Amino acid sequence: MKLTVVGCGDAFGSGGRLQTCFHVAAPEEEFLIDCGATSLIGMQHLGLDPERVSSIFISHLHGDHFSGLVWWMIHAHHVTRRTRALTITGPAGTEERFVTAAEALFPGSATVKRRFDLRFIEYTHGKAIEVGGVRVTPYEVCHPSGAPPYALRIETGGKTVSFSGDTEWVENLVEAANGANLFIAECFGYDKPLGYHMTWREIEKQLDRLGAKRVLLTHMNTEMLANRDEVRDPRVLVAEDGMVIDI
Ligand SMILES: [Zn+2]
Ligand SMILES: [Zn+2]
């Protein structure tokens, strides 16, 4: 299984990084974890084919994590003329938020008759969803975004990738990350405590309890980026756009 960092930036363009999007190529499936506004740009830059993606798992309903669906759908309709079904999983209200965003930016684009089945599935805390050969279990976290936010534990082909989504430290992260081959952790700040986001100093303290084999730090603000050389734990990687990780 191969994970490609399409975008590991925050909502503010810190470090010139693209917004959150991870592409996973598993033996039988290709899928995305989050789809920030710049996801299609990043995929085109990296030569990743949107047509091969069969599902998109959204952590929470902030624009830097889900609004790329708007451009994704117009590309699927007008450019690739997609016929393959697409499943999107997300918090309660994901479909309505997508329709609102799409109609604001490209009127008519959400109601157009598509050539492919578009299916939305909503999360319930702790309840696993099977999509194709992928099993995703959502765990509620703490990050106000107009709908419940989630960490995701994604299992396929005997491997596990977990993602914190955006959140301050919550105990549910331990269950989401435990034993994972890779835990992608939002690390917005370096050492100054922040509401609704984590810092490197907090994550560092929890590494043993999280129990993931490797941890990938993402969603870093300018202060965290300036201090990234202070991350020296051998289990921890600092994300870069375009980075590829074998899992
Ligand atoms: Zn974010
Ligand atoms: Zn957010």
Task: Please give the pLDDT value at position 90.
Answer: 98
Q: How far is the CA of 38 from the centre of ligand 1 (A)?
A: 13
pLDDT at 27: 83
How many CB atoms sit inside 10 A of residue 130's CB?
10
Only one residue has tokens 């997300």, namely 90
CA 145 to ligand 2 center in whole angstroms = 7
Residue whose structure tokens are 């405590």: 193
Number of the ligand closest to the Cα of 142: 2
Regions of the chain short of the pLDDT cut 50: none
Distance 166 CA to ligand 1 centre (A): 6
User: How much distance in Å is there from the Cα of 196 to the middle of ligand 2?
Assistant: 8
pTM metric for this prediction: 0.98
pLDDT at 1: 95
Given a contact cutoff of 8 angstroms between Cβ atoms, the answer to whether 222 and 14 are in contact is yes
Nearest ligand to the CA atom of 17: 1
Report CA(143)–ligand 2 centroid distance (Å).
Answer: 7
E strand or H helix at 228, and its extent? none
pLDDT computed for residue 28 by the predictor: 79
Query: Is the CB of residue 185 less than 8 Å from the CB of residue 198?
Result: yes
What pLDDT was estimated at residue 11? 98
Q: Which ligand is nearest to the CA of 9?
A: 1
